[in-house]
Amino acid sequence: MGVDRHYKARTRTASVSTVIGIALVLFMLGVLGFLVLNAQALERYFRENVRVELFLKRDLKEVDIMQFRKELDTEPFAKATRYVTADEAAEQLKQDLGEDFLGVLGSNPLLASVELNLEAAYAQPDSLKWIVEHLKQDRRVDEVAYNAAVVENIDANMGRLTLIVLGFTALLLVIAIALINNTIRLAIYSKRFLIRTMHLVGATQWFIKRPFMGQSLWQGLLGGVLAIGLLVGLLQLAQHHVPDLLAFTNVVTLGLLFAGVVGLGLLISVVSTWFAVGRYLRMNSEDLHWS
């Protein structure tokens, strides 16, 4: 009775370890899968956050500023605009510097500005140069500023990042298959003599493999669901620190990702179990003692 209880406890421990191992590997694959599926959306997000600051003439009237912003909003390259008064700019600079520079200067030297966010298609080096030159010619604009280096590096960095993520995903997939396969083989190892005995008394291979396959499907499903739970938790945590993270992710993409995680967990578990059980079925009694 004690031996039987000890065996069941070991079996449960092996099953739990297998599920956790599968879940952690699928979780890592899910994170990389999220980046791959959202690569274009990420690039669009970065481009649409390219900001051009249009500093306005100091003597410009409020009605002229509103008219200028209204005209900007109708331009095909404009995604969004925001008007920043000189006082708001001073308050922001005060927060950034941590001290009240106006008390030293006695007056506010900053200009009111309009922050322009571009449509993704126009956030290209050539397009931006034309847009900046076009806006500089407006009599209401005193100066135009933007970070040219960021724009020029988006293409190169996103292309490089995509290749790195794809390569790392392929490598991790190979490692994942090996780890899950090894975990399942270790779990089946303790039952190798039972497998061999059933085979010797005439049980068919499918009859022997069926309970192991059913258990592997259950473990793969649990591992996939647990991995999805970890992914959801990570995305919620990331969204708390980066509110716009899921702004470019739709339900279909997340559905495909979650389905892929569960499907991969089921596939690897079943295939690994099939070959692991088959390996012990092909062994003779002497090999089982040394395997």
Cβ-contact 181, 216 below 8 angstroms: no
pLDDT tens digits for range 211-267: 878 888 888 899 899 999 999 998 888 777 766 666 667 778 888 889 988 998 888
- State the DSSP code for 121: G
Is 36 in the same domain as 170? yes
Distance CA 144, CA 135 (A): 7
pLDDT at 149 exceeding the cut of 50: yes
Is 88 in the same domain as 218? no
Is 36 in the same domain as 66? no
In this prediction, residue 67 carries a pLDDT of 92
From 146, 181, 202, give the residue that closes a domain.
146
CATH code for position 134: 3.30.70.3040
Residue (of 156, 149, 97, 104) closest to 128 by Cα position:
149
**Across the chain, what does the average pLDDT equal?**
78
From 146, 180, 198, give the residue that closes a domain.
146
Q: What percent of the chain has pLDDT over 70?
A: 77
Is 186 in the same domain as 276? yes
Residue 65, both tokens: 């500023």
Domain with 247 in it:
2-43+154-290
Distance CA 161, CA 239 (A): 21
Distance CA 212, CA 186 (A): 13
Is 209 in the same domain as 108? no
pLDDT at 123 exceeding the cut of 50: yes
Distance CA 125, CA 224 (A): 43
Is 176 in the same domain as 70? no
Is 244 in the same domain as 189? yes
Cβ-contact 51, 283 below 8 angstroms: no
Phi-psi region of 18 (alpha: psi -120 to 50; beta: other; left: phi over 0): alpha
Is 164 in the same domain as 280? yes
pLDDT tens digits for range 83-112: 888 878 777 767 766 666 555 555 667 788
- What is the H or E stretch that residue 194 is in? helix 192-200
In this prediction, residue 230 carries a pLDDT of 92
**Ramachandran angles phi, psi of 249, nearest 5°:** -110, 125
Is 195 in the same domain as 101? no
Is 120 in the same domain as 249? no
From 126, 146, 166, give the residue that closes a domain.
146
Is 258 in the same domain as 196? yes
Of 2-6, 78-82, 97-101, 148-152, which gets the smallest average pLDDT?
2-6
The residues facing 272 across adjacent strands are none
Q: How many domains does the chain have?
A: 2
Is 39 in the same domain as 55? no
Q: Let me know how long the chain is.
A: 291
